[in-house]
Amino acid sequence: MDTVSLAEDTVKKALEKGCDGAEVFIKTAKSLSVEAKNGSVEALESARDFGMALKVIKNQRLGFSFTTSPVGIDSYRDGVGDIINEAVKSAEWTAADEYVDIPDYMPASEVSVLDEKIKNIKEEEIIKSALLLEKAALDFDVRVKKVRKAEIILAYGNTTIVNSKGVSISYESSYLTASVTAFASDGQDSQTGWDFATSRRLDDINFVSIAESASKKAVDLLNSRRISSVKVPIVFDSSVASDFLGLFSASLSAEAVQKKRSFLTGKVGKNIINSIITVVDDGLVPWKTGTKPVDDEGVPTLKKVIVSRGQLTGYIHNTYTAKKEGVSSTGNAVRRNVKNLPGIDVTNLYIEPNPPKSPHTPLNLIKSISKGLLVLETMGIHTANPISGDFSIGISGLWIDSGEIAYPVKEAVMSGNILELFNRVEDIGDDLRFYGKIGSPSLLIGEIDISA
């Protein structure tokens, strides 16, 4: 499908209808998912998707329409008039807004986002990898009795963005995620463990490693104990640290700030967390899932230091919030799908780790604690208050005694505030790992209250 000419034709006709500006976003994709269970294929699904969104500006009023009808290019050309008419008509019902705009043209960033191996992979190869996920999880330990889910999802597609200010880009990208949930039992207790990995490149995914990690968590947590309420240092493994960074990321949005829904409102230029922490949002990291040549409005993606040695340097913007603030877009416009106007989200957000093979390995973080807790899982982090940053969540993990793992812990509760938590970070590991678009190394956190 010649999506560029379709988008250009739509923009041209929208302007002929009296619009002052127009922007077209087109997304096509092909996906395949495979789930293995009991040594065979439990589910196999494939899909093709098409979506086209049109944003128009007329007399400073915003209009919007979209279509997801799976028809051919010629049918779309014939139906462009209807799509434009819907967008123009919707603009009649919106209030004039001086900040509504579309971005000017800027050269796209050069990034690695399309893996030909994923694009051309055979169905039988994906099935083989899904079966490997299940087998590797079961082979890890005799106490791993079954795998509740071993799934691989891959997709590749094309994104096209054209607007009336000269933006015209079309690029292909790929994506793969592998996840596994293992169930372990020793006759006395049973536990589950889960792990996953995502990348735009097939060779980045180690299926055996993911499976073994999930099984290890399940086995390590067998015969977990409850503990009394204590105040001790804790270590977050990289997955838990990423969970909390994800909670923190919601308040980086300029939209949340402008609507007074962020605990970072008014804190630019201020020290908000421990000075050993630097947080980066980088849309240029090769092969990461948040990497793109442009954001979903056609603004080039960038590498941005969001928190520099504990100090907040700024927020992330799309075109609307940037114009309202009198700054430039940071390339963080994101569409959940073609049915929605662009919002704001991070690209690849991470806490800078210590250098690889430094004295700051996860094991050394553990050894530095006399008594404490290695947190492996959180429960209910989605219930945290995004406006205040307050949280009260369930945690489980491994008790540390004299720098050594002593026994597994379950049903503990940790409460606090996200900024206070990051202000208590005393050391940072060298084991940066991404979980989707959010990444972190392990973190050593000073004494914190844990209740039974």
pLDDT in tens, 198-215: 999 999 999 999 999 999
Based on the domain organization, do 387 and 335 belong to the same domain?
A: no
| The pairing of beta strand 390-401 with beta strand 371-379 | antiparallel
Q: What is the pLDDT of residue 271?
A: 98
Task: Please state the domain count of the chain.
Answer: 3
Quote the domain boundaries for residue 402: 223-243+356-451
Based on the domain organization, do 249 and 239 belong to the same domain?
A: no
Which stretches does DSSP call E strand in 247-318? 279-282, 303-308, 311-312
pTM, two decimals, is 0.96
User: How does residue 76 score in pLDDT terms, banded at 50, 70 and 90?
Assistant: low
Mean pLDDT value across the chain: 95
User: How does residue 277 score in pLDDT terms, banded at 50, 70 and 90?
Assistant: very high
Residue 437 in this model has a pLDDT that exceeds 60: yes
Based on the domain organization, do 287 and 320 belong to the same domain?
A: yes
Question: How distant, in Å, are the alpha carbons of 74, 197, 428, 439 from that of 356?
Answer: 54, 20, 11, 15
Mean predicted confidence (pLDDT) in 9-24: 96
Residue 73 in this model has a pLDDT that exceeds 80: no
Say what percent of the chain tops pLDDT 90.
95
pLDDT per residue as tens digits for the range 392-426 = 999 999 999 999 999 999 999 999 999 999 999 99
Based on the domain organization, do 388 and 315 belong to the same domain?
A: no
Report the CATH number that the domain containing residue 64 is assigned in CATH: 3.30.2290.10
Query: Which residue among 176, 204, 219 closes a domain?
Result: 219
Residue 251 in this model has a pLDDT that exceeds 60: yes
Residue 28 in this model has a pLDDT that exceeds 50: yes
Q: What is the pLDDT of residue 70?
A: 58
Based on the domain organization, do 308 and 347 belong to the same domain?
A: yes
Residue 276 in this model has a pLDDT that exceeds 50: yes
Based on the domain organization, do 317 and 415 belong to the same domain?
A: no
Q: What is the pLDDT of residue 452?
A: 80
Based on the domain organization, do 307 and 336 belong to the same domain?
A: yes
Query: Which residue among 351, 374, 399 closes a domain?
Result: 351
How far apart are the C-alpha atoms of 402 and 170, rounded to whole Å? 57
Q: What is the pLDDT of residue 72?
A: 45
Based on the domain organization, do 298 and 410 belong to the same domain?
A: no
Which of 342, 348, 324, 358 has its CA nearest to residue 429?
A: 358
Q: Which residues have a Cβ under 8 Å from the Cβ of 121 and sit 6 or more positions away?
A: 154, 202
Q: What is the pLDDT of residue 303?
A: 98
Based on the domain organization, do 91 and 229 belong to the same domain?
A: no
Query: Which residue among 308, 327, 351 closes a domain?
Result: 351
Residue 247 in this model has a pLDDT that exceeds 70: yes
Based on the domain organization, do 153 and 274 belong to the same domain?
A: no
pLDDT per residue as tens digits for the range 110-143 = 999 999 999 999 999 999 999 999 999 999 999 9
Based on the domain organization, do 174 and 86 belong to the same domain?
A: yes
Backbone angles phi, psi at 142, to 5 degrees: -65, -20
How far apart are the C-alpha atoms of 53 and 321, rounded to whole Å? 20
Based on the domain organization, do 384 and 414 belong to the same domain?
A: yes
